[in-house]
Amino acid sequence: MVLCFRVWRAFAAILLALGISSVGSLLAQTPEPSGVPGNRLPGLESLPPVDRLPDAPILPASPPPITLPPIDSSGVPQQKAILPSLSSAPPSVMGKQDAASPSIPSLPKSTTASKDEKKDCKEEKKDDKKGSKDDKKCETPKEWWQKVPVVQVFPRPGNFVIFRTDPGYFSAADCLHGEYRDKAPKYPYPRFSVFMNSFFDMDWRYLDDPKNTEYGCYDSLKRQRFGSEGQFLFTTGGEIRARYNWEQNSRALNEGPIGLRGDNNSYDLFRVRAYGDLFWYDQIRVFAEVIGAYSPNYDLPPLIIDRDIADLLNAFVEVNLGEIKEQPVWLRIGRQELLFGSQRLISPLDWANTRRTFQGLRLFRHSEKHDVDVFLVQPIVPDWNSFDSVDNNVVFAGLWYTHRPKPGTFIDGYYLLLDNTNPVNRGRGNVRGGTTVNTVGGRYAGDKDNWLWDLEGMVQFGTYSNQALLANAFTAGVGYHFKDCRWTPQIWLFYDHASGDPTPGEGNTRRTFNQLFPFGHYYFGFVDVVGRRNINDINAHLIFQPEQWLTCLLQVHNFYLDSPKDALYNAAGLPIRQDRSGRAGIDVGHELDFLVNLHLARNQDVLFSYSYLFAGNFLKATATTPNAARDLQALYLQYTYRW
């Protein structure tokens, strides 16, 4: 009865949130009146003016373009820059111009093209028509705001979902309002409740297109240019998320108070995020994001990733250092999330209520087909009672290269270094010490002719307390996309391996793989008692989409320890069960996961998840109480609203 009451309470809260946000959904479906600029709120021109004098002109959504004079080899303008067609600008922006008015300072060289450059470009285009086909065509240089942000192409995770793009209804709101679309919306947020990306990599540039026909109630918060010369660009947004959680034999607890071992856990998680993104031309960027994570109701004590009253999730400055082969090189300094490749090793961990972030430096150059990233950071430790700070005893660095020979295909090569001097690792003879982990790996993932694949291998070497470290992990997955069948089903078959230590605490070499900072919840079942350490997992996935706004996933996992004497490590990489004699065997269990995601509107999702782990001989034999030997279950109901 208590479980039913809490489920219905969570469901009622979601219905209330849906009711509150229904106005925003209706506005998102409102077509734009003719003549309204693409990045202004539809219908705004019909509202009575409340903050300006009558008959004052409305500011244009896009300031008139600013042209520069030719610049000589010394970088000094040959004449003072002026704004063309001043009479066409609203008086409220330009004011009166006369001979006594001060000249307007010139802009950075990369901001726009001069009239002479555009003229030369037109002449080159004419010559191209007469010349060889191999001649490079001249393109009109982009305005500076069209170049930012330099968005990291979102890398496909493992067992990736190919969302439907065929004509139809792309949200429940579309279906309700009869809004049939010929193609998927350009809205950058995913049609899924779990947000695996970062806000600073969202691309809203489609709103700058004067031919854009997609509008939402929060468009006026994006890509707003201001300043005397339009030199600033500002975007803001955020997220509200609520999740109800119920778990049987929660966390597979086997230590601590006897009453908590194998106990059930019912708890709520709430999260609020908001960000601001400011550019000064295409030279400097300042990004800040705050987060509040709460868990007001719980049976078991909350985890460290469940609560953080108010803190900075991201707070960094980016500086454009110049160009290499016409692509800018950026330096990012400050607090920042990291996301690379499949997220098997580095992820923002969206399932955690607090998400994961770091602090330090990142140097990167991203282009259409090649990305190069170098970083040196320290992990941030969430603190419920005070401002989050770094773990000064941990340093994480790496070099990551990605090649995309075609859209959707990713080839990664990387080197990662983790140096942790905290004396929490037990080596030979139970001696405590730190660890240094070097990871070298590569990945190849993509699709062709409906076939899907995901291959990744990793080797680790270094030190572990008073032992050497030598470990490995690999993933091999193949799938098929029945895109011409009803519901466009996808199937995947995977084998995941991460080495364990056959003789823990003995010998000169430690062989247990270190999973670093992964999106563990995504890969080894949603019960979260299995991580990428000392494990073999044979798993299969079925994905089907009855509608463009309805996504269903079914997963089956078969878990076996790599070494019977090593521990079972959970999604956080922490040991939770172990039999040093090895008599408990290697059969951890078999898990069934079922997920349904409803994309309610362009900014709203509901996710339902149910998981059942049939406990194997290992879990039963290592249990210290009857409850701890039970099968494990997990039920989640999550609502997400983004703007």
Q: Which amino acid is at 90?
A: P
Q: Which residue has the tokens 């330099």?
A: 150
Which domains, and CATH codes, for the chain?
Answer: 2-23+160-642 (2.40.160.100)
pLDDT, greater one: 46 or 294: 294
Q: Return all residues near 108 (Cβ < 8 A) that are at least 6 apart.
A: 144, 281, 282, 283
Q: What angle do CA 341, 347, 351 make, to 5 degrees?
A: 130
| Better pLDDT: 338 or 112 | 338
pLDDT reported for residue 544: 98
Is the confidence at residue 470, as pLDDT, over 70? yes
Q: Where are the beta strands (DSSP E) in 301-427?
A: 308-324, 327-336, 358-366, 370-381, 389-390, 394-403, 410-426
Integer Cα distance of 30 and 216 in angstroms? 8
| Residue 549: φ, ψ to 5° | -100, 5
Asked if 582 and 564 touch (Cβ cutoff 8 Å), the reply is yes
- Specify the pLDDT at position 19: 42
- Per-residue confidence (pLDDT) for residue 256, from 0 to 100: 85
pLDDT attached to residue 61 = 43
Q: Give 139 or 52, the one with higher predicted confidence.
A: 139
pLDDT at position 452: 98
Contact criterion met (CB below 8 Å) for 345 and 531: no
622 or 38, greater pLDDT: 622
Separation between Cα atoms, residue 415 and residue 437, nearest integer Å: 11
What is the reported pLDDT for 59? 40
The span from the CA of 39 to the CA of 61, in Å, is 6
Torsion angle defined by CA atoms of residues 352, 354, 356 and 360, in that order, rounded to the nearest 10 degrees: 180
Q: In angstroms, how far apart are the furthest CA atoms of the chain?
A: 93
Q: What average pLDDT does range 191-219 have in this prediction?
A: 95
pLDDT above 70 covers what percent of the chain?
Answer: 78
| pLDDT, tens only, 531-545 | 999 999 999 999 999
Mean pLDDT of 220-226: 96
Mapped onto helix, strand or coil, the DSSP state of residue 13 is helix
* Confidence band of 255 (pLDDT split at 50, 70, 90): confident
What does the pLDDT look like over 583-642, one tens digit per residue?
A: 999 999 999 999 999 999 999 999 999 999 999 999 999 999 999 999 999 999 999 999
The residues facing 632 across adjacent strands are 613
State the pLDDT at residue 139.
Answer: 57
Task: Evaluate whether 536 touches 485 at the Cβ level (below 8 Å).
Answer: no
Q: What is the pLDDT of residue 140?
A: 64
* Measured CA distances, 424 to 102, 429, 436, 574, 607 (Å): 65, 14, 13, 11, 37
Rank 34-43, 50-59, 505-514 by mean pLDDT and report only the highest.
505-514
Least confident of 28-32, 172-176, 289-293, 430-434: 28-32
Measured on CA atoms in the order 48, 53, 56, 58, is the torsion positive or negative?
negative
Indicate if the pLDDT at residue 436 is higher than 80: yes
AA letter at 538: I
- Ranking 99-103, 109-113, 514-518, 549-553 by mean pLDDT, the lowest is 99-103
**Average pLDDT along the chain:** 84
pLDDT of 146-196, one tens digit each?
999 998 999 999 999 999 999 999 999 999 999 999 999 999 999 999 999
